[in-house]
Structure 1
Amino acid sequence: MKQPRYWAVVPAAGIGKRMGADRPKQYLPLLEQPVIAHTLARLCAVEKITQVVVAVAPGDPWWSKLSLPEKVHAVDGGAERCFSVLNALDALQERAAADDWVLVHDAARPCIRHADIEHLINRLADHPVGGLLAMPVRDTMKRGDAENQVTATVNRENLWHALTPQMFRFAALRHALSHALDNQQLVTDEAQAMELVQATPVLVQGHSDNLKITHPQDLPLAAWYLSQQSIDT
């Protein structure tokens, strides 16, 4: 039986308004390289990944300035994450088999550990659905109203922070995203799309240093994580 291949998809068409910067957050400097350069280097270092498809905004002026690994291929992204991922899957359609695996990873998560990607791949290799890296919630959770007043304390038992990569079979993920969009549901991650077609993704515990750069204070923290990881290895 032919072994499934592994493909990575990186949605990178967002503008990152919360950073308040002069460019999308994936192009901000981090240890003398753009954030996305670290992210792509981590994915390309995984031997099992055949290709990394990056969905970038049409006319993106920063993308062409990057020095890219051979594994990386770009396609046009969309207005929302789900459109970008679906565009990338469409670009892979002629090469990917239905049961190949797709790992979708945020462009602004440059600290993903190689060991966590390998753990995700190995943990889900024989699973019928797939799953995602995640971290159990540690803090007390509060629900607030429109004026940021507490309305309830939420039981944190069995609550997880969803991370990336999120890994699903090619055909199943493409169907799930298409189904969500056909029903006017702009899902915020791939696991949500799978849930909408009654699939049950697996939560695979990763590490908390796999942070998503969202606010200015995240950049120095990411730099510290990267420096610590390089020391550890």
Structure 2
Amino acid sequence: MSASRLFVLIPCAGSGSRAGSVGPKQYQRIAGRPMVEHTLEAFRSLVGRFEGIALVVSPDDADVGIVLPRFPGPGEHLLRVGGPTRAATVRNGLRALRNAGAGPHDWVLVHDAARCLVTPTQVEALIAACEHDPVGGLLAHRLADTLKVASPEGRVVRTPTRADKWLAQTPQMFRIGMLLDALERVGDAVTDEASAIEAIGLGPLLVPGSAQNFKLTYSEDFALAEALLRSRRTAP
């Protein structure tokens, strides 16, 4: 089992409507490059680590070839099987990987295209923590802020403890067969892979990530990501 191969699956079929951008947010330029290119680079830089890196886009995506003219390269796959939800996109992508020769016991790291600040060090930390785990796990960040529960009228009804609360991030790493089975069972309602694994009665491992590995969702997130990416280039 420890010799199982590693694959990367990047769902890239969303519209990014909350970002307020023209066109899919994952193709917007940040620090001089398309967002998704920064995302891909974190995995490409781990040379020889992965059996394959797959980008899952919508069947009618007319932009990806323009935005990423050199993709796919060696060991990379462009899968035009994206669905109407994240769960459907990942499920379709996993089926395509299986059809291309990936085994049920191989690992897959599913990563948001819009988390373009993930680092190779964080990816390696996830792999090291999960590659011998019976379930798999995800990068996550301990909740630092006070959490409030609101009424329908927008008033605070209670303040739960934050001691056991984590913010789920990606990559999320599971066996391909286990994750595909879980997603086929639970349908499209789940918003991340760990939720599907939880729904079949298993407990994914929480691997400490970083506050900088945030998902670009709103327009103000782009300015912060730009600053962080440029600061990394100038860091000694």
AA aligned opposite 1:64: G
Answer with 108-117 or 92-101: which moved more.
92-101
Question: Which of 114, 120, 140 is matched with 2:120 structurally?
Answer: 114
Kindly indicate whether the alpha-carbon contact (under 8 Å) linking 2:138 and 2:194 is maintained by their aligned counterparts in 1: yes
Kindly indicate whether the alpha-carbon contact (under 8 Å) linking 1:44 and 1:69 is maintained by their aligned counterparts in 2: no
Distance 1:218 1:144 in 2: 24
Shift of 1:72: 2.7
Kindly indicate whether the alpha-carbon contact (under 8 Å) linking 2:2 and 2:132 is maintained by their aligned counterparts in 1: no
Shift of 1:186: 1.3
Distance 2:152 2:46 in 1: 43
Correspondence 1:62-141 to 2 at 5 A: 62-65=63-66, 66-67=68-69, 68=71, 70=73, 71-75=75-79, 76-94=81-99, 95-141=101-147
Distance 2:30 2:2 in 1: 40
Q: For structure 1, which runs of at least 5 residues remain unmatched after alignment?
A: none
Distance 1:24 1:231 in 2: 29
Mapped pair 1:8 → 2:8: yes
Report which of the two has the higher share of strand. 1
Q: For structure 2, which runs of at least 5 residues remain unmatched after alignment?
A: none
Identity %: 38
Kindly indicate whether the alpha-carbon contact (under 8 Å) linking 2:135 and 2:202 is maintained by their aligned counterparts in 1: yes
Kindly indicate whether the alpha-carbon contact (under 8 Å) linking 2:72 and 2:78 is maintained by their aligned counterparts in 1: no
Paired position in structure 1 for 2:56 = 55
Shift of 1:2: 7.3
Distance 1:61 1:195 in 2: 36
Q: TM-score scaled to structure 2, two decimals?
A: 0.93
Distance 1:103 1:57 in 2: 20
Distance 1:105 1:146 in 2: 33
Paired position in structure 2 for 1:142 = 148
Paired position in structure 2 for 1:41 = 41
Distance 1:64 1:178 in 2: 30
AA aligned opposite 2:129: R
AA aligned opposite 2:76: V
Mapped pair 1:31 → 2:35: no
Q: TM-score scaled to structure 1, two decimals?
A: 0.94
Count matched residues: 230
Question: Which of 170, 185, 192 is matched with 1:164 structurally?
Answer: 170
AA aligned opposite 1:89: L
Distance 1:7 1:147, change over 3 A: same
Q: CA RMSD in A?
A: 1.5
SS state at 1:217 partner: helix
SS state at 1:167 partner: strand
Answer with 158-167 or 215-224: which moved more.
215-224
- Structure 1: 4+ residue segments shifted above 4 A: none
SS state at 1:49 partner: coil
